[in-house]
Amino acid sequence: MKWQGRRKSTNVEDRRGQSGGGFGGGRGISPMLLIPLFRLLFSKAGLVIVAVVALILFLTGTNPLTLLQQFVGGEPQYAQTSDYQPGPEEQELAEQTKVVLADTEDVWNNIVQGYREPTLVLFSGQVNSACGTASSASGPFYCPGDEKLYIDLSFFSEMERKLGAGGDFAQAYVVGHEVGHHVQKLTGVMDKVNAMRGQLSHTEFNQLMVRVELQADFYAGVWAHHTQRSTGFLEPGDLEEALNAASAIGDDRLQKQATGRVVPDSFTHGTSAQRVRWFRKGFETGDVRQGDTFNAAEL
């Protein structure tokens, strides 16, 4: 994949070497907030606040730390845990990812009217987002709450080592897929899907999520189609890398590898064949109108 010397996105937050703190996920508290919290708690006003918080906790089960943040104020904070020094391979991968993000910006700005460019967050180990706290084990993800995509670059090494899905365009496909979820956020798809939560059975909602994920695969293909037409960035074997990656992360294949059996009712991302089919369709057509997975008779 030809990416060197091309434009890199500036919509990037590099949090590598930082620990996710704050209250974004309601699952942890940053050490940097302990001092103001203690000062507040041992003041006269703090005693009143504690009484109110305790009553609310008793009545509703709400996490009191989340409420205390409202009195302390401020955004989630991040503590530097070490002098993080990425190796040359990781840094090159970071630069490549910034180029891929820039390519998605060029494509989707031309397709989606009023497109808001998402932010890429590079992290290591653990990260805090508007969707909660996540570890590297969660893999790359998009958070609609803050319109950011989160990637621990070590995931790509794991993808190659454990799934046999290596290559720079395989990595680019992952980024394109997460940006595809951002497109779904902007076009209202995510809001509609979230509105269905609780109205469907667990199995039915899983089936709906499969269609969400397959559309994101399709959008990744659309991005690659238009970038190839404008830049000719693909090299021999690149497309096969992406198709191999799409196949490697199919629900059926992952379940088979993990447990030796396949449970279709638990699928949330689609089978290997489905993921390959929708990415290829996006890549071959480049036409967003052909990506309506929700009304497709066959996935």
Average pLDDT over residues 14-36: 50
Q: How confident is the model at residue 138 (pLDDT cuts 50, 70, 90)?
A: confident
Position 220 pLDDT exceeds 70: yes
Region of poorest pLDDT, from 6-10, 23-27, 42-46, 209-213: 23-27
What pLDDT digit, counting tens, does each position of 56-83 carry? 334 434 444 333 333 334 444 444 445 6
What pLDDT digit, counting tens, does each position of 154-197 carry? 999 999 999 999 999 999 999 999 999 999 999 999 999 999 99
What pLDDT digit, counting tens, does each position of 254-293 carry? 999 999 999 999 999 999 999 999 999 999 999 999 999 9
Q: What is the pLDDT of residue 19?
A: 64
Q: What is the pLDDT of residue 250?
A: 97
Q: What is the pLDDT of residue 34?
A: 33
Of 201 and 77, the one with more pLDDT: 201
Q: What is the pLDDT of residue 97?
A: 98
Residue 30, phi-psi category: left (phi > 0), alpha (psi -120 to 50), beta (remainder) = beta
Q: What are phi and psi of 39, to 5 degrees?
A: -60, -40
Q: What is the pLDDT of residue 20?
A: 55
pTM (whole model) above 0.85: no
Q: What is the pLDDT of residue 85?
A: 82
- What percent of the chain shows pLDDT beyond 90? 75
Average pLDDT over residues 99-110: 98
